[in-house]
Amino acid sequence: MSFAIRAAGPGDAATVLALIKALAAYERMPDAVKMDEALLRTAMEAGHCRALLAFDGDGAVGVALYFFNFSTWTGKRGLYLEDLFVVPEARKGGIGLAFFRALAKIAVDEACPRMEWQVLAWNELAAGFYRGLGAAEMSEWRVWRMETEALDRLAQG
C-alpha cells in the first residue's frame, strides 16, 4: 500500500467528519457524533482542533484529530490525540505508525513533553499497538465526564 499523510485544513472538514463517523460506528457508538461539517470547520478555523489525513491515491483512508492541552505539572502544552482512525481495509499497512510518527514530530516541534490519548477498554488490538510504540497505560487515572444535562444542572446551582 502506498499512502501519504498531510495536514488537514478547514476545507477538509467533510472528509474529517466522515472518518470520525466511521470511527464512531467502529467503536459501537454510531449515533454519538452530534457535530456537523460547519461546526467542525469553525473549530478548525479557530484552532480548537487540528487533523492529519492519510490518503491512498485520492481517497482518504485515515484521520488523526488532535489539540493542545496544558499540564500544570510540566508547565507546558501537551498534544492530546482525540481520535485516530484508519479504515479497516487500509489497516496493517503502516498508516497508524505513520500517524504516530507525524504526531510525535509535531509534539517535539511544539515543545510538548507529553502526548496522551484514550482507548476503549475492549480495544486490545489498539492497546497492543500502543504498547509496541512504547506508550504506557495510565491505569491509576480514571476518566470522568460531565455532559450537557449535568453541566446545566450544576451551572444553575
Catalytic residue ranges:
130
Instruction: List the beta strands (DSSP E) in the chain.
Output: 4-8, 50-56, 59-71, 76-86, 115-117
Start-to-end C-alpha separation, the chain: 56
What DSSP character marks residue 104? H
Q: Which long-range contacts (CB under 8 A, 24 or more apart) does 138-143 make?
A: 143/118
Smallest Cα–Cα separation from 42: which of 11, 79, 7, 63? 11
